[in-house]
Amino acid sequence: MQHQSNTHTSVNPIPDFDLSKHNTLALPSKAEYFCRYKSISELLNLLAYANKEKLNIKILGGGSNMIVQPEVKGLVIQSAMTDVVKLSENDDSVIYAVDAGLTWHDWVLKSIKFCAYGLENLALIPGTVGASPVQNIGAYGVEVCQAIEEVRGIQISTGQWMSFSREQCDFSYRDSIFKKQFKNDFLITQVIFKLSKVFRPQTSYAPLKQMAEQFLSTTNVDANENAKSLSAQQVADWVINVRNSKLPDPQIIPNAGSFFTNPIIEKPQVDELLKQFPTMPVYPVANSTGKLVKVAAGWLIDQCGWKGKSLGLAKMHDQQALVLTLKPGASQQDLLSIQQAVQADVMNKFGIQLRPEPQPFY
């Protein structure tokens, strides 16, 4: 992958930039320098500028999965590149290259319009396309890694352009190589998606299952024909409705969506817990041959009495105990205090360590 720098493209980083409106928790924060880039040449000039001025590069996506600190040192850069290009197709599938700066939800809706399927269950997840592989975003039985063919970008420390296949990304639950070996050292410029031309609805997870069953019961044709009559847009609309009913709009109530990851623990521990808490929701973990089980973090938090409960200027949401929300004027300390209190109560009651999903940004 060769990219030529255009030395005539000027970049003007903004000093002392207010990041409070660029993170969905609305935490107070200022970046030492900030700049959005609209082309690869602008990006290369920004990297050269940072190198010359000895500034660390910090990559900002949609600001939905991070805990910004009051001061962010270095040069914060954000992609304004949003192109979608069809690379190839055959009878069964189609491959698209999508720029990192495109809003994730916009890409999901575009893919449905293109009759390219596999992302419908991931509708309305906040953030950008470039951030989606880092976290291996997932919802309602689908993870983005299932649709990713390749991830392209530049290693910040070396300036080397690199490309990772799906296997090389080392995807697992809410994890990837970009959170491990390449943490804070890889800038994703494009994600390559391989999507199906045949829509296969994924409605095994409640409440999508309930919605699908209600839909099936309203018509007289058999279940197989009915499943075929389901559309990708319909499933996406269900997902959007469910998310809107449970998750607050960050424009109105600052939050970062699900704040804790669902813990993955060993089956013997789960079996012991199920004796004491038989209604505890548990899910199988792919490729663990039954040795590991995923537990619903929201249920654990709810059982500890945190649903709708406040601590200082922070609160666990009324409709979804997994969502940490902040009130106007809340600080990083308010967030940390409620995070630690919830973790302590879940540990005391269940012996399970909850881990926050958003990453520190400093």
100-159 pLDDT, tens digit per residue, is 999 999 999 999 999 999 999 999 999 999 999 999 999 998 999 999 999 999 999 999
Residue 4 domain-assigned?
Answer: no
Answer yes or no: are the C-beta atoms of 211 and 227 closer than 8 Å: no
**Does residue 1 register a pLDDT over 50?**
no
| Residue 110, domain CATH | 3.30.465.10
Co-location of 229 and 328 in the same domain: no
Residue 22 domain-assigned?
Answer: yes
Co-location of 95 and 123 in the same domain: yes
The pLDDT, as a whole number, for residue 226 is: 53
Active-site positions read 174, 258, 357
Q: Which amino acid is at 41?
A: S
Co-location of 227 and 275 in the same domain: no
Co-location of 26 and 116 in the same domain: no
Per-residue pLDDT of 27-51, as tens digits, reads 999 999 999 999 999 999 999 999 9
Residue 110 domain-assigned?
Answer: yes
User: Other CB atoms closer than 10 Å to residue 294's CB: what's the count?
Assistant: 19
Co-location of 94 and 188 in the same domain: yes
Choose the final residue of a domain: 218, 246, 274: 246
What's the domain count of the chain? 4
Residue 331 sits in which domain range?
255-361
What does pTM read for this prediction? 0.89
The pLDDT, as a whole number, for residue 219 is: 63
Residue 7 domain-assigned?
Answer: no
Residue 281 domain-assigned?
Answer: yes
Co-location of 174 and 232 in the same domain: no
Residue 1 domain-assigned?
Answer: no
Co-location of 91 and 180 in the same domain: yes
Q: Which burial class, exposed, middle or buried, applies to 50 when counting CB atoms under 10 A from its CB (0-12, 13-18, 19+)?
A: buried
Mean residue pLDDT of the chain comes to 93
Choose the final residue of a domain: 29, 47, 79: 79
Tokens of 93: 């599938």
Q: What is the dihedral of CA 169, 94, 111, 187, to 10 degrees?
A: 30
Co-location of 184 and 94 in the same domain: yes
